[in-house]
Amino acid sequence: MPDWRTDWFARDPPRHPAPPRWEFPNEGPSDDTGVIAVGADLEPATLLEAYRTGLFPMPLGGRDLAWFSPDPRGIIPLDGLHISRSLHRSLGRFSVSIDRCFGEVMARCGDPARPGHWITAAFIDAYGTLADLGWAHSIEVWSGDELVGGLYGVRIGGFFAGESMFHSATDASKVALVHTVDWLVATDATLFDVQWTTPHLVSMGAIDIARDDYLRRLAHALGGSDTDT
């Protein structure tokens, strides 16, 4: 097992920001967009409070900041990952690291040329601060010395919210996903949130669950999260 997984618990715990300025509602959204609140900011305490409440941010046209809590919610069961024969072969073609170049992974995920671009400079700055504090993480996939894939997200206790991933080599983002699941299993996580399912994620085992079920699983995964990474 690679060192980046086995030495995870030897890391210093994440540093806590000042208390949040905002409180988020915990009732369901009023329509099928999944939007439950608009406004607030991207300060570290705000982001952590939102994830603990079951929300995540995305821009909503113009400069509005929306907080989503979709129903159903996409997750990848940690015992339900699907790995095809071709992906098994691809796993041996790449090397993998964690938190080696968070900013570059997020910038590649936020490439304006990608369809559905939503990761703005403000998001890159905000999540970069979370990474500096120890709450946001990236899994990087390498072909030699070249970064060819990766994903990033937020980890609180046994919960991980996968935010986005990219690839510039065939199967590199899938390799990142496989190693993310390995990392989560090895470090006793229980919930891998992918927000919305897509055909790509479903092909690898992602499922939709009811929002109420998601919130129950989230509460369980967050147990003891004040001190856990």
Looking at the chain, how many residues does it have?
229
Residue 6 clears pLDDT 60, i.e. is over it: no
Q: How far is CA 72 from CA 94, 132, 162, 166, in A?
A: 34, 32, 16, 24
Considering only CA atoms, which of 158, 226, 156, 152 is closest in space to residue 191? 158
Say yes or no to pLDDT of 2 above 60: no
Indicate whether 9 pLDDT > 70: no
Q: How confident is the model at residue 71 (pLDDT cuts 50, 70, 90)?
A: very high
Question: What pLDDT, on the 0 to 100 scale, is given for residue 118?
Answer: 85
- CA contacts within 13 A on the Cβ side of 215: 15
Least confident of 18-32, 164-178, 187-201: 18-32
pLDDT confidence tier of residue 46, bands split at 50, 70 and 90: very high
Average pLDDT, the chain: 90
Kind of pairing, strands 191-195 and 56-59?
A: unpaired
Would you list the domain boundaries of the chain?
A: 9-68, 73-221
For residue 7, pLDDT over 80 is answered with: no
d(CA 212, CA 214): 5
| pLDDT, tens digit (0-9, with 9 covering 90-100), for 209-221 | 999 999 999 999 9
Q: Average pLDDT in the 122-135 region?
A: 96
pLDDT-derived band at 1 (thresholds 50, 70, 90) equals very low
Task: Please give the average per-residue pLDDT across 114-136, as a whole number.
Answer: 91
224 vs 105: which has the higher pLDDT? 105
Q: Does domain 73-221 have CATH number 3.20.20.120?
A: no
> Lowest-confidence range among 102-116, 166-180, 191-205?
102-116
- Give the span between the Cα atoms of 63 and 96, in whole angstroms: 36
pLDDT in tens, 91-102: 999 999 999 999
Alpha-carbon distances, residue 22 vs 38, 47, 90 (angstroms): 12, 10, 44
